[in-house]
């Protein structure tokens, strides 16, 4: 039995945070290396060879013709060349895949196909292009117009690889050319490294699996970590086994982990690793295993838990999705790749710049001490997929721990990479989709200024980077147009932040609804109608914003970062509506559709939004005004193919799209 009651149920703060290097060493000390398995040749692609493969046979296993032509004794051709030729009788023909039934004696030739076995007596092949058929004497003869030397146009037995030769070394990642060589050697099964079996367990009573009903009112959320971490395990060379979500009870948690440790060589959990009174995992590890690390000096990822549970390697990841994924990428993925020998690129040191280090420009403040981000030995070496970029957004940090800063990437007009840091936190799952990797920010560093050169360690090197980046106010028509481009990305930003990003050359396009002074080159604009969404039939007879102050209606408002909220506030001020009298006014929802959806769900009587959203949800609509949506393109990005494609869509598709969208019109 586990003794979680009494003294264990009191809150225990982290006594100390170990440096990242110590956490790496602890995980390295865990033994979850894989063994060897033999797989069919058809399943060998992208696996890692576990043993040296020697050639058991000669390839080819016979002397074979390398050209279509005639098998001869080279000495019989020495007089050919220039204006002279040699005429030889043809004694027969040898076909590929057949045993020769002819012998090439002195003074005769035999027709031969590419790949055919050289007949006895022949030591060279005259290509057919250097011969002419000769039937002048009533028999098959060939006129040879060029001399050949012994062995010419012949692949000798074992010339490709000879029996006993070393064919492939252990650790080789098997691609098409390696599989082809194994096939040539007749290897039906191949010894490869086993993929480590990794258990993935999410903890929390609030977690629900995608596809199951979600009760948001009771605090339920969909389980993100099981799926993102399992995908990351597979990318790092492991074989994930996702277990059912463990509830926040010691019995249920222990039962799941007991089964996981029996079946897998590494167990990964997410959540319940902190030091709070309801966090059980570190207590379980203390009572039933060996705790090596609890708390690491890194952000995000402080509550990392490392040890051995029931004799099996164990790593507890934080519960926030971004923290979990980044902590896995930083600490666990390198060891998984090492265990399965599956790294797609070797780990490598990042070269320093002339001013100190990558990510340590003097323009960004802080100090340099010769490593990535200026964080000393705690950063170690950058992993596979590390690439340079110019960070164009300002990042402030209060320091104290190594920070793993999530960043997104996009190409500028010259093909160089631009990095940006979204302002969402580690608890925001959108950060996973809006970023492509992370930058190490040293504990002593307080600022990255726009323009700082950094090294970005990609989450997944096979994932394509966004072809086009847009920022600004959310708009359904913009989204519909971007859907027609491949791998475009759009970040919702308030007007002030969006303009600042645009001025700092982060995005390709800017979408604004404010004053008609948008920076860049304006390439499109249109009108959209905004107002109040009400239940179908307008049962409360809402006819304008004044009706909201009567006290009998619950209003769903939008957040101040959205332009529809801005024009609503201007409207209420100009009409004399006292917003303090509106029930729900001060609770601003984050998405442009959020208030309308709240009305559609029956949780509010009136909601602020766009006419097209109200129509899409089967609601009534009371118009209050229109907005002008403007799209501007950064001048330096006009040459990008994706930007040109978007401008083409504005010309060809936008008029029809506006006509099909309720409340929209061409400006």
Dump pLDDT digits (tens) for 15-35. Answer: 578 999 999 999 999 987 778
Assess if residue 348 is contained within a domain. no
Cα 429–chain centre separation: 15
**Residue 379 resides in a domain:** yes
Contact 257, 201 (CB under 8 A): yes
Looking at per-residue pLDDT, the higher value among 380 and 370 belongs to: 380
Mean pLDDT on 422-429: 68
Q: Is 247 exposed, middle or buried (0-12, 13-18, 19+ CB in 10 A)?
A: middle
In a domain, 120, yes or no: yes
Q: Do 164 and 291 fall within a single domain?
A: no
Asked, for residue 478, whether it belongs to a domain, the answer is no
Number of domains in the chain: 5
Tell me if 482 is assigned to some domain. no
Which residues lie closer than 8 Å to 356 by C-beta, 6 or more apart?
362, 368, 370, 374
Provide the pLDDT for residue 2: 37
Same domain, 137 and 166: no
How confident is the model over 371-408, as pLDDT tens digits?
333 333 333 445 556 899 999 999 998 878 899 999 99
Q: What is the CATH number of the domain that holds 176?
A: 3.90.105.10
Q: Which domain CATH number covers 98?
A: 2.170.190.11
Do 48 and 179 fall within a single domain?
A: yes
Confidence of residue 554 (pLDDT cuts 50, 70, 90): very high
Q: What is the pLDDT of residue 136?
A: 67
355 pLDDT tier (thresholds 50, 70, 90) = very low
**CA 182 to CA 40: how far, in whole Å?**
11
* pLDDT tens sequence across 445-490: 999 999 999 999 988 787 889 999 999 999 999 999 999 988 899 9
Whether residue 547 lies inside any domain: the answer is: yes
Looking at the structure, do residues 548 and 419 belong to the same domain, yes or no?
Answer: no
Examine the domain organization and report whether 200 and 138 are in the same domain: no
Residues 224 and 332 in one domain: yes
pLDDT at 199: 95
Residue 460's domain comprises 362-465
Sheet containing strand 131-134, strands side by side: 124-127, 69-72, 109-112, 86-94, 141-144, 131-134
Q: Which of 404, 438, 465 is the last residue of a domain?
A: 465
> What CATH number should be reported for the domain holding residue 298?
3.40.980.10
CATH of the domain at 574: 3.40.190.290
Do 137 and 170 reside in the same domain of the chain? no
Residue 471 has which token pair? Answer: 């920022």
Q: What is the 3-state secondary structure (H, E, C) of 538-558?
A: CCCCCCCHHHHHHCCCCEEEE
| pLDDT 10s digits, 270-325 | 988 775 545 678 888 888 889 999 989 998 888 899 999 999 999 999 988 888 98
Give SS3 for 110. strand
- Find the DSSP H helices in 350-494: 430-434, 476-482
Lowest mean per-residue pLDDT among 1-5, 207-211, 402-406, 640-644? 1-5
- Do 561 and 652 lie in one domain? The reply is yes
On whether both 50 and 184 belong to a single domain, the answer is: yes
Are 329 and 378 in a shared domain?
no
Nearest to 407 by CA among 301, 473, 498, 326: 326
Residues 148, 243, single domain; the answer is no
Q: Is residue 77 part of a domain?
A: yes
**Same domain flag for 203 and 182:** no
What's the pLDDT at 48? 87
Residue 284: the pLDDT is 86
DSSP string for 273-322: -SSSTT--HHHHHHHHEEEEEE-BSEES-TT-EEEEETTEEEEEEPSSHH
Instruction: Tell me if 330 is assigned to some domain.
Output: yes
Return the pLDDT at 275. Answer: 57
pLDDT in the model for residue 565:
96
Residue-averaged pLDDT of the chain: 86
């Amino acid at each position: 039995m586990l003794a979680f009651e009494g003294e264990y149920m009191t809150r225990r703060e982290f006594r100390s945070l170990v440096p990242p290097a110590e956490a790496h060493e602890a995980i390295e000390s865990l033994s979850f290396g894989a063994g060897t398995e033999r797989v069919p040749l058809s399943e060998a692609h992208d696996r890692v060879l576990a043993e040296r493969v020697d050639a058991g046979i000669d390839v080819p296993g016979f002397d074979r013709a390398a050209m279509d032509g005639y098998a001869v004794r080279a000495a019989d051709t020495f007089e050919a060349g220039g204006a002279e030729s040699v005429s030889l009788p043809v004694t027969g023909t040898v076909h590929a895949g057949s045993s020769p039934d002819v012998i090439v004696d002195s003074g005769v030739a035999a027709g031969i196909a590419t790949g055919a076995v050289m007949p006895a007596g022949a030591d060279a092949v005259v290509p057919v292009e250097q011969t002419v058929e000769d039937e002048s004497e009533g028999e098959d003869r060939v006129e040879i117009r060029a001399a050949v030397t012994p062995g010419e146009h012949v692949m000798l037995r074992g010339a490709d690889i000879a029996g006993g030769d070393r064919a492939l070394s252990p650790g080789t990642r098997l691609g098409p050319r390696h599989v082809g060589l194994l096939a040539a050697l007749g290897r039906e099964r191949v010894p490869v490294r086993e993929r480590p079996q990794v258990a993935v367990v999410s903890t929390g009573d609030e977690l629900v699996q995608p596809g199951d009903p979600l009760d948001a009112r009771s605090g339920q959320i969909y389980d993100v970590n099981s799926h993102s971490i399992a995908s990351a395990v597979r990318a790092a060379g492991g074989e994930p086994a996702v277990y059912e979500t463990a509830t926040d009870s010691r019995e249920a948690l222990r039962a799941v982990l007991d089964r996981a440790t029996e079946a897998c060589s590494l167990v990964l959990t997410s959540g319940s690793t902190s030091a709070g009174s309801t966090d059980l995992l570190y207590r379980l590890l203390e009572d039933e295993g060996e705790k090596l690390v609890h708390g690491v000096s890194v952000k995000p990822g402080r509550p990392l838990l490392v040890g051995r549970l029931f004799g099996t390697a164990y790593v507890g990841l934080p519960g926030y999705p971004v923290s979990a994924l980044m902590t896995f990428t930083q600490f666990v993925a390198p060891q998984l790749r090492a265990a399965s020998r599956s790294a797609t690129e070797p780990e490598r040191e990042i070269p320093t710049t002339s001013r100190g280090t990558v990510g340590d420009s003097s323009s960004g403040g802080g100090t340099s001490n010769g490593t990535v981000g200026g964080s000393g030995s705690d950063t170690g070496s950058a992993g596979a997929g590390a690439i340079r970029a110019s960070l164009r957004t300002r990042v402030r940090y209060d320091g104290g721990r190594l920070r793993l800063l999530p960043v997104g990437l996009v190409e500028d007009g010259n093909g160089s990479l631009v990095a940006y840091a979204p302002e969402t936190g580690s608890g925001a799952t959108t950060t996973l989709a809006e970023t492509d990797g992370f930058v190490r920010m040293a504990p002593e560093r307080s600022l990255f200024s726009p323009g700082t050169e950094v090294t970005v360690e990609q989450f997944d090197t096979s994932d394509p980077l966004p072809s086009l980046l847009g920022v600004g106010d959310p708009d359904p028509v913009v989204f519909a147009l971007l859907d027609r481009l491949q791998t475009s990305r759009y970040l919702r930003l308030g007007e002030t932040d969006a303009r600042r990003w645009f001025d700092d050359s982060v995005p390709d396009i800017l979408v604004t609804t404010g004053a008609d002074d948008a920076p860049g080159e304006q390439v499109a604009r249109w009108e959209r109608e905004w107002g109040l969404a009400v239940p179908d039939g307008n049962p409360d007879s809402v006819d304008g914003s004044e009706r909201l102050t009567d006290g009998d209606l619950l209003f769903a408002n939008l957040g101040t970062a959205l332009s529809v909220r801005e024009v609503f506030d201007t409207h209420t001020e100009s009409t004399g509506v006292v917003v303090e009298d509106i029930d729900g006014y001060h609770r601003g929802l984050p998405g442009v559709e959020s208030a309308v959806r709240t009305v559609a769900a029956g949780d509010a009587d009136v909601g602020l939004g766009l006419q097209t959203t109200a129509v899409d949800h089967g609601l009534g609509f009371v118009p209050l005004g229109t907005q002008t949506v403007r799209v501007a393109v950064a001048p330096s990005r006009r040459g990008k193919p994706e930007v040109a494609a978007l401008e083409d869509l504005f010309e060809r598709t936008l008029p029809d799209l506006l006509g099909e969208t309720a409340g929209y019109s061409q400006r």
